[in-house]
Structure formats: C-alpha cells, structure tokens
Structure 1
Amino acid sequence: MFNKYIINFVLLFKGVFVRFGVDPNQLRIILTTKMKMDDRRPNVYNQQRQKQKKEVNHSSWLTMFFLGITGLFFTALLVIAKQPFVGHTIYFSAFMVMLAITLISDFTSVLIDVRDNYIILPRPVSDSTFTISRILHIGIHTTKMALAISLSGMIYSFIWEGPIASLVFILEVFIATVLSIFLVNIIYLIVLKVTSPQKFKDFISYFQIIFSVLIFAAYYTLPRLMTASTLQNFEIKSIKILAIVPPVWIAALHEMAVNFKSTDLLTVAYALLAVFSPVLSLYLVVKVLAPGFNQKLSSISGSGDDGTIISSEGKGASKGFMNVLAKSLAPDPIENAGFKLTWLLSSRYRDFKVKVYPSFAYVPVYFVYFGFIGKKGSISENWQSLLSGDMYILLIYLTSFVLTTVLQYVSLTEKYKASWIFFTTPHQQPGKILAGMFKAVITKYYVPYFLVVSIFSLTFWGTKVINDLILAFMVGIIYGLLVAVFQVKGLPFSQPINIKKGGRTFITFFIMLIPIAFGFLHNWAAKWETVIWISAALMTLFAWISFASYKKETWESLEMAD
C-alpha cells in the first residue's frame, strides 16, 4: 500500500517524464514490480521467516524499521553535544557511514542486478522508460533508507530548534545522502575500472566483512569513549585536517542557521562546500567515471559464479600443503575426502567467508572492551594492570567461540544440491566424513587463530601460561565437538541456508555455557599449576574419547535437505 502512494507521488511529475520520452503506464508497472521484488528480497532482518519457510513480505519496510531505531541512537548524539556544530558533525558522520553500509549491502540486488535487461529490453519498452525506471528505483530505495535513519533527527530538530533549523536539517540530509551515494559509487567505479568482475565481487565481500567488524567494534567501544564531557570540550575548527571531511561541511549549514550572527568566514566556506559538493560529485560520476559502466555491470551479472570464488587454494603449492595435512591428519579414505572437501569449499564459497570471517575480529574487540573500556586510569596503567592479572585466560577462552560460527555455517550453502555425491557413493559411514570435516575446521581456522593468541599470551605473560594454553585448547576442542554433535546435523555444505533448526534452543544455550563455566573455574584454579596440568591431561583424554564417538555418527542422526 505504501509503495502505491510512493509511485503515485512520483507520477505527479509524469509531464516531465513524458517530455523525455517515458511511457507513464510502463513506468508504473516497472516500478511496482521492482518495489514488490524489494519487499520479497531476503535480508538479515527477516531470517527467522526464511528459516520457517514462510513467505517474505515487506522486507524493505522491516529494514527501514531497524534503520529507524539506529537513527534514534544517532539523534542522542545531537542531545548530548552542547555545541550544535560538533553534534551535527558526529551525527552526519554516523549517518553517512550507516547509509553507505546499507547501500553496499544492497548494491548487488539494486544496482548491479541487471537481470531486468533480459525481461524488459526484448519488449516494446523505450530506452528512456527503461533508464528512468532504473534511476527512480535506485532513488526511491535510497530515499527510503535515508528517511528511516534521519526521521528522528528531523523531529528533534523541529521540536527543539524550530522550523528553520528543521528545514536546514532536511537539506543536510539530502546533501549527506547524495555524498554517500557518490562515495559508494566512486569506490565501486574505480574498482570496476581496475579489476575484473570476479575480483569486484570479492571486493564487495571483503568490504562487507570489514564494515561489519567496524560496526561491531564501534558498538562496544564508542559509547564508553564518547562521553558527554568529551563532546562538550571538543573543538572541530581547531583540527585543520577535518576540513576535508564532508560531515564538517554539512554541519556548517546548521551552524549558520542557528548561530548566523556569530558565524565566521571558515564556517561560511564549509557551508559553500556543502552546497556545491553534490553538484560536483554528480558531474564527476556522469562525465568522468560513468563511461562504460553499464558494460561492466553486464559483465558482472554475466560472470555467473553465484557466490563462488575461484580460489588459488587447491592449486600448486596450496594443494600440496593441503594434501600433506589431509594425509597426515585424516589417513582414512572417507575421512580424507571429508577433510579435503571442507577445506576447499570453505575457500570457494563467498557467502561462507562473509558470515565467518568477521567472528575472528570479535575476540580482540571483546578483549579491548573488557580490558580497557570504562576503566579508570591511563591506557598504560590499565595495560600494566592486565599484565599483573589473569586476563589472558579470558582471551584464550574467547577463541573457542570462533568455532561456533565456523561450525554453524560449514554445512550450509545455496548450492546444497551438489551434495548428492555424499549419498550416492558406496559407504555407510557418514561419521567419518563428519570427522574429516571437523578436523579441517580445527586445522584451518581454530589452530592458526589459537596459535596467534598463544604467541601473544606467551610474549606478554611468559612461559607460565603454557599449561593454561593447553587446557583452554582442549576445552575448545570439546566445545567444538559438542557444537558439531548437537548443532551441525549435516555433511559439509549439504544443507540449504533456510533449513529449519527448531527445538534445540535450550541445548544450544547450555553448550555455550560450558566454555564460560570452564573459564571461571580455570581462572579460580590458575594459582595451582599441578591442577591445571592434570586438568589438561583429563581434557585431552576426554576430547579423544568424544571424537572417537563422533566418528560413529549414522545417517539417522543427520538432517537431510528436501
């Protein structure tokens, strides 16, 4: 219904569109279809409905709702900051980053998706109608996202600062939106010009990984660092390097609106940059970067890898290294096959990397959060306090949660139908395939990560932590086995992403408590070296017995895809 009102509003300007050779009726049909597809597109906010295999509707509006909640937190920055210039600079910095992230995540389905070429172009639709419909679709999509983030800020500005300030705020939102689109486009256009379509898709994936880590880190650290006193004592104009930051230009517009009499020349210069920068950005995109862009988009859409990376892994030296590991760690032929398949496919599937890789950055973020954020004293004093305590125990136990993410996704893929090979080969021992899968996950992800953390711990806490590292590693192995037994009910990359996994919430919660409980017990018993060594030996024995049992998993214990 809301989409209908939006389209009706757009078509109020159909007289202008007709002058450009656009058919209004065709434009209405195309926009209606595109927006309906947007509402049915799966995203992170409606995963629960996907898992329950229910029809997804109003997807874009659900996204807007969560963006609106995010915008509410951004508005709190305007309230905290007593200086409007500072508040608006920080607000629009957060606004532009959030909008850019949203656009990047939607880029492949909104802009890069050129499948409508095959549906619309063979029909009697003019180039003008087709081009305008695409521009309007992108514009409507972006406007909805920008409005969701900024709505609470607009309301605050109108109530507490008056109608003039609220009108200027709307202008600020428009400029910030245009500049966000420009920044995203200029990055993508430059990458498109210097890379292949395959590398471009990899770039998008790694970009999403980096930004998801940044959001996670900002969520845990910025609220504690950005206290009210910090914002009140912060002086933007004294930091010359900030003159190149667009949010500073945008904030200058608001400064002129509310403090016009005391406005200095530098603020006027920033405001002029804010007004003219969208015009300049549009010129650069259209005249300098856009030529050949459609051909590049078509080549991306036609590359057809569908989420698969052609990895160098499995070739040359990489293949030799993997084969040596597989032969040494999984000598059984069936187990060896499970090891190799898991190792190679985890390197090829782009969606798997996007979901798993951010979790490796969460551990240092949590370590910094618990070790430094909110603590009194300087950073050096807090660091010395860490070195004199047992904080390394928290760090090494946090690594076990990386296994949760890897094992959670190691059996899931959109290309699950290719797993028919598991069920047609003459064997009745799926447990051996699972054992090979588990060994590959441990060897490829957990061991290298734990090794890095161990080197860090040994460097700063000394050799006294060796037995602690051994105990924590074996507890992590046991935890991983429990996750594999109770949560991973499929062979490697053999299940659809939306498979229903109900009825195991309590078990999952209980399993997650195990490393937490062991961590507390370990911290309490750390002063008794002998106890730690004995515990490490017992955990090693228990891990060996548990793995031997895991190898005996049968077909009846697995969940099969439909």
Structure 2
Amino acid sequence: MKDYRSLKILDKFSRLFEKSGIDYPVMRRILQTKLTMDARRVPTIITKSSKKKDGKGAPEGNQFIRSLWLYILFGLMSTPFILMGDNYIFQMSTVFGVFMFMILTSLISDFSAVLLDIRDRNILSTKPISRKTIAMAKTIHILIYMFFLTGAISGIPLVAGLIRHGVGFFLLFLLELILMDLLIVVITALVYLAILKFFDGEKLKDMINYVQIGLTISITIGYQLLIRMFGVVDLEVVFHAKWWQFFLPPIWFGASFESLLHGVNEPLFILFSLLAVFVPIAAFLLYIKLMPSLERNLQKLADPGGRSRKKKGFLLRRVNSLLCRDPQERVFFNFAWTMMGKEREFKLKVYPSIGLSIIFPFIFLFSDFSGNGSLDLVGTKKYLLIYFCAILVPTLVIMLRYSAKYKASWIYQAAPISDHAPIYRGALKACLVRLLLPLFILDSCVFMILFGAVIIPDLIVVALSFTLYTVICFACMRKALPFSEAFEGGQQAESIRVIPLMLLLAVFAFLHWLATSLDYGVYGYIVVLVVANLAVWKWAFSKAILQRGIQI
C-alpha cells in the first residue's frame, strides 16, 4: 500500500499517541488501509462519473483531492472580507461563519458515514486492538480530510491575511482554524454519541438521519443570525455584543482578533476569545475520554433492534390506490417508498437537502422584517416565497436513480415488464408523496398561520405547480431506472442541468404572481394547472421521452 505523506507527518507525533495509551503502529496501519480505500470514493459535493478508469475499471487517483477546487473557489470568494479593512469582528466572524458552514455541511454529507462506519468491526474486533486505538484511528482519519478541506478553503485567505495584516494575523488565523476543526469534529461526534446512547436498531438509524437534518438547519440558521448581528451606520459596520452571541462560535473566533490585535478589553470580547481557545480543547479532551463509549455504542448500528413488522398503513394504501391506477405502478410506488425509507446511503445524501429546503422560504421571508411580527406580512404576496421549498426537486429527481444496492437492478430485466413507464411513474409519485409532500405541508401550515386562511387557494396553486415542476424535471433529466446506478456514477452534466430547472421554478412563481393580479385569476390558474398536469404527466412518460428525453 502507498505510504501517504500525511502518515509520515503523523509519525512525528507517535510518542504523544503512545503516551495516551494508543497502539500507534496498529493505528497507522488502519489509517493506511482506510486512506487507500478512500481513493475510490467520490464526495457528495461533486457528482462526476467521467473519471478515467484503469484496466480493471477502478478510478485513478483520489477523487476527494480532485474535488477540492470547489472549496478553493469558496475560499477565493471569502478573500475580500480579509482585504476590506481592519474591522476584525465583522470580517473574521463572517469568514469563520462561511468556513464552518462549508466544512460542517461536508462533514455531515460525506464523513458521517466514516464516523459511523461499522463495516471494519468484523475484522478489527476479532484482533487484540483496544477500542481507544480504533476510535482514534477513525478520528485522525476524519481530521486528515478536515486538514485538506480547511487548507483548500483557507489557503488563499491565509496568504491574503499575511500580505494585508502581517505575520501576527496570519499565525492567529492559522491557530483558530485548527481550533475550529477540532470543535467541528467533536461537536458532530458528541451529537452522534448522545443519539447512540438513547436509541438502538432501526430507530437509531432513522434518528441519525433526523439529526443530520437538524444539524443542517441549525448551521444555516446560525449563519443567518451571524449576518444579521451587524448593522451599518454612516457606512460603517457596527457590532453590539449580546449575551446570546455566546452560542455562535464564529463570533468567538472573530472577537479573538479584536482582543489580541486591536487590544479591545471589553469583558464580552475577552470572554468570546477565551471560549475560542478553551471550548475546542475541552471538547476534544472530553471526546478522547468518551471514545471507548462511542465505539461500544456503535455496535447498536448492527443490531436490527426488533424491526417493526407492522402492516402498511391504511392511509398509505389509500394514497397508493388513489394515485396509481395501474397495478404495476402500485408495485413500484411501494418499492420506491420502501427504498427511500430504508436505504441509508440515499438518506445520508438527500435528507440534509430536505433540511435546507424547509427553512429557505423563511430565511427570505424574515430577511427584511421590521419587528412588527406578522403585521409585516398581511396584505403582501410574500407567501410566494414558499416556492423555495421545491428548490431540492431537481436534486431529488437525480438522486432517485442511485442506490448502494444498485447491483440488484437486474430484477428489472428479469421481471416480465415490457413497458418501463409504470416503473418511472410509481417511483416519481412515491418521491413526491414521501419527501416533498410532508415538506410542503409543514411550510404551508406555518404560512397559513402567518398570512391567514385566505392563501389556501394560492397553496393549491403551489401544490399543482410543484407536481408539474417535478415531472418536467424528470423529462429533462437523463433516464435511468430507479435505484439502478451507483452513487459514484453521477454525472457532472446532470448537476449543470439543475441551474436552468431552478430558473424554471422562478417562472412558476412569476406566473402565480401574475394570476394574483387578476380578478379570480388564481382560480383560473388552478384550472390551467390541472389540465397541464394531466397532459404533461401523460406526455412525460411516453416512449419518445423515455428513450431520448429533452435536451436543455
């Protein structure tokens, strides 16, 4: 196996690991094996199958390293905040907010599977290896990739800070990046440990997915709060320290620059600076102490935990029979419903996007609130912002074709099915009902509280627009049978197609706005959308479209 440079650097700290009771040679060999296997894994942030193959069909090179250009791009976009002046609390809090958002999102989507991986337990647990060594190998494995992620996103800003603000700024920036990474990894691990303590079996696996949604929502809301803490007075950015800012780590890191480089001695700034140092270190020490417990509780993921054998709910059967008149279509509706509920890899990659879609409408809705509560919304058309909750639809349609168990797709050819249209229709309807409908109902309930029952006809328009939008997205995408391709097989071209489809969603919102400008226009638009849905759903699953699709 290849002897990675990161492992050679780690060798210099071998005595430190051994003093902590870790078998360093064994940990190094585990890491070497994991890094070798990781070269085959493609990160979620890019979906690219146009990679070269060697004679055996394995991808060449580490695809994670090749994906870092996107993080470099985000770092480049953050660089102006470093160069714009010396208001460190504003500049560095914003920069660390961007960094934490990007790295946490990547950690949740790509490395939760690494942190919660139990596939190597059958090999390692039969050997005389301590749980502490296995847990530390897992932690170092993630930290190595965190180093590459952080280096990619912060490399250009670090150089810009060195040139613009000097060596002191550079060293402090570098130190706080290390502390930030420690904090991110430990918080994520401790959250998962808490869930592992209270749940087991299938409930645990479901809870982990819900925790990922919660983490995604939390970091997005936190980022929005961070932006709104700063005001502009006479073209100057003004910051007022408040007690609740103790819960926003980017403020801790930003305040350290003010305290150490500008000599600001305000008590809150000093407390923020102390938190930036002591919380990550204390959290990491706590994590080291709890590592054996984490490894012990990870065994619950392998426990089926008395899987429920409940019969399919009456409501689901009714929805199935109402939406799917064709018997074959009903079968594949049930099949897709089950796969989306039990396919862990699918949920790990899709559910964080659902979390973002839940809160996107509210982020824009409350962006210009004046403080009068719902009075700001009465009589406005801001309820049209609910269209943002369908921003994940193109991604859902793309992801519907992927599965970790894609090799079982031979069943499509073995089954006596001459027409694939019922397969696509059933799977797409299951996707709508299971993933998009609960999201839409949740947002609609909140919008009705804010705007009143008067918007019910408009919500009907939105629902009809979403179903029409979904089938149009399907018609525009490359066709592949549901759950028939590996996750590593995604194509970058498909991701590019998402952009015009998102613009199409804006067209639906604009047409809705035009309808509200006419007397009884909303009711007329409902009739138009019903007819359009009937026509487009029939057209999208015709043989011509299924064979070639639409080029956009």
* Pick aligned residue for 2:88 from 84, 88, 93: 84
CA distance in 2, matches of 1:532, 1:249: 49
Percent identity between the two aligned chains = 26
Q: Which moved more, 1:62-71 or 1:326-335?
A: 62-71
Offset at residue 43 of structure 1 (A): 0.5
What residue ranges of structure 1 are gaps of 5+ in the alignment? none
Deviations 1:317-343 (CA, angstroms, capped at 9, x unpaired): x52221222234434422321222233
- Cα distance change of structure 1 residues 549 and 61 upon mapping to structure 2, 3 Å threshold: closer
Q: CA, structure 1 residues 23+162, in 2 after alignment: closer, same or farther (shift >3 Å)?
A: same
1:180 is matched with: 184
Alignment check: 8 A CA contact 2:90 2:230 kept: no
CA distance in 1, matches of 2:442, 2:17: 60
1:437 and 2:414 correspond: no
CA contact (8 A) 1:363 1:398 kept: yes
Which position in structure 2 is the counterpart of 1:557?
547
Question: Residues of 2 paired with 1:61 and 1:174: CA distance?
Answer: 20
Pair 1:38 & 2:43 matched: no
Q: In the alignment, what sits opposite 2:519?
A: 529
Give the secondary structure class of the aligned counterpart of 1:207: helix
Deviates more, 1:359-368 or 1:473-482: 359-368
1:338 aligned partner: 332
Partner of 1:232: 237
Structure 1 residue 319 corresponds to structure 2 residue 313? yes
1:404 aligns with 2:407: no
**Whole-angstrom distance in 2 between the partners of 1:532 and 1:227:** 39
What amino acid is the match of 1:388?
G
Amino acid corresponding to residue 478 of structure 1 in structure 2? L
Match of 1:258 in 2: 261
**Against the structure 1 CA distance between its residues 84 and 108, is the aligned structure 2 distance closer, same or farther, given a 3 Å change threshold?**
closer
Distance 1:124 1:352 in 2: 34
Asked if structure 2 preserves the Cα contact closer than 8 Å seen for 1:71 and 1:150, the reply is: yes
1:371-397 Cα offsets, whole Å, 9 max, x none, are 564x6x83549x7675434444x3465
Q: Is the 8 A contact 2:475 2:545 kept in 1?
A: no
Q: Which residue identity lines up with residue 237 of structure 2 in the other structure? A: Q
Question: In the superposition, relative to structure 1, how do residues 252 and 116 fare at CA in structure 2: closer, same or farther (>3 Å)?
Answer: same
5 Å-filtered alignment, 1:145-294, equals 145-196=149-200, 198-213=202-217, 226=230, 229=233, 232-236=237-241, 239-242=242-245, 253-260=256-263, 263=265, 276-277=278-279, 280-287=282-289, 289-294=290-295
Map 1:338-487 → 2, pairs under 5 A: 338-358=332-352, 367-368=361-362, 373=367, 378=370, 380=372, 387-392=378-383, 394-395=384-385, 397-398=387-388, 401=391, 403-447=393-437, 449-450=439-440, 468-487=458-477
Identify if the C-alpha distance between structure 1 residues 484 and 8 changes in structure 2 by more than 3 Å, giving closer, same or farther: closer
User: Structure 1: how far apart are the matches of 2:390 and 2:276?
Assistant: 48
Contact kept? 2:51, 2:59, Cα under 8 Å: no
Alpha carbons 1:39, 1:60 under 8 Å: kept: yes
Instruction: Name the structure 1 match of 2:531.
Output: 541
Comparing 24-33 with 138-147, which one deviates more in the overlay?
A: 24-33
Structure 2 match to 1:297: 298
3-state DSSP class of the match of 1:48?
coil
Looking at structure 2, the residues matched to 403 and 425 of structure 1 have their Cα atoms a distance apart, in angstroms, of 29
**Deviation digits for residues 215-270 of structure 1 (CA, Å, limit 9, x no counterpart):** 6667789668756559832133xx3454576666655654453245x646776666
Alpha-carbon separation, structure 1, partners of 2:328 and 2:92: 61
**Contact 1:50/1:498, CA 8 A, preserved across alignment:** no
Do the aligned partners of 2:398 and 2:494 also contact (CA within 8 Å) in 1?
no
Q: Cα–Cα, structure 1 residues 315 and 162, in superposed 2: closer, same or farther, change >3 Å?
A: same
**Does the 8 Å CA contact 1:334/1:432 hold for their aligned counterparts?**
yes
CA shift, 1:415, in A, is: 1.7
- SS at the partner of 2:239? coil
Structure-1 separation of matches of 2:87 and 2:26: 50
- Quick one: structure 1 residues 50 and 529, their matched pair in 2 at CA, closer, same or farther if it must change by over 3 Å? same
Change (3 A) 1:147 1:474: closer
Structure-2 separation of matches of 1:65 and 1:22? 35
Deviations 1:120-154 (A, max 9, x none): 78789999987876665454334334444444454
| 1:416 Cα deviation after fit | 2.7
Q: 5+ unaligned residues in a row in structure 2: which ranges?
A: none
Q: Work out the CA distance in 2 between the residues paired with 1:146 and 1:507.
A: 29
Q: Is the 8 A contact 1:474 1:536 kept in 2?
A: yes
User: Does the CA-based 8 Å contact 2:421-2:542 persist in structure 1?
Assistant: yes
SS of equivalent to 1:57: coil
User: Deviation digits for residues 442-500 of structure 1, max 9, x if unmatched?
Assistant: 44455555556666666666777666555554444333333334437344434443456
- Matched residue of 1:290: which SS? helix
Find 1:493's aligned residue among 459, 483, 486. Answer: 483
Whichever of the two has the greater Rg, that structure is: 1
188-197 vs 457-466, greater mean Cα deviation: 457-466
Alignment of 1:5-84 (within 5 A): 5-12=5-12, 31-49=31-49, 55=59, 57-62=61-66, 64-73=68-77, 76-77=80-81, 82-84=86-88
The TM-score with structure 1 as length reference comes to: 0.75
SS of residue paired to 1:174: helix
Q: Which amino acid aligns with 2:192?
A: Y
When normalised by structure 2's length, the TM-score is 0.76
From the superposition, tell whether residues 361 and 438 of structure 1 become closer, same or farther in structure 2 (CA, over 3 Å). Answer: same
- Could you tell me how far apart the structure 1 residues matched to 2:268 and 2:448 are? 52
The two structures, once aligned, show a CA RMSD in angstroms of 4.9
